[in-house]
Amino acid sequence: MDYKGQDANLYYPESYNYDQERENAPKKQVYDSNGKLLYGYTNAVTNLRYDTSLFTVIEASRAKNVDLTGALGVMKKPDSYYDHVYVSMNKDGSRIVDSNSVGGIMVPWQINKEYKKRTTDYLILKLTEYRRKLK
| d(C-alpha 42, C-alpha 79), whole Å | 15
The answer on pLDDT for 13 being more than 70 is: no
Tell me the CA distances in angstroms from 91 to 9, 67, 87, one per residue in order: 30, 4, 11
pLDDT in tens, 66-118: 999 999 999 999 999 999 999 999 999 998 888 876 666 666 677 889 999 99
Is the model's pLDDT at 38 over the cut of 50? yes
For range 49-76, the mean pLDDT:
93
Which H or E run contains 45?
Answer: helix 44-49
Per-residue pLDDT at 124: 94
Which residues, other chains included, contact 82 with Cβ-Cβ below 8 Å and sequence gap of 6+? 25, 26, 43, 45, 46, 49, 74, 75, 76, 120
Q: How confident is the model at residue 35 (pLDDT cuts 50, 70, 90)?
A: very high
- Going by C-alpha positions, the residue among 43, 64, 47, 45 that lies closest to residue 116 is 64
**What is the model's pLDDT at position 1?**
43
Q: Is the pLDDT of residue 24 over 50?
A: yes
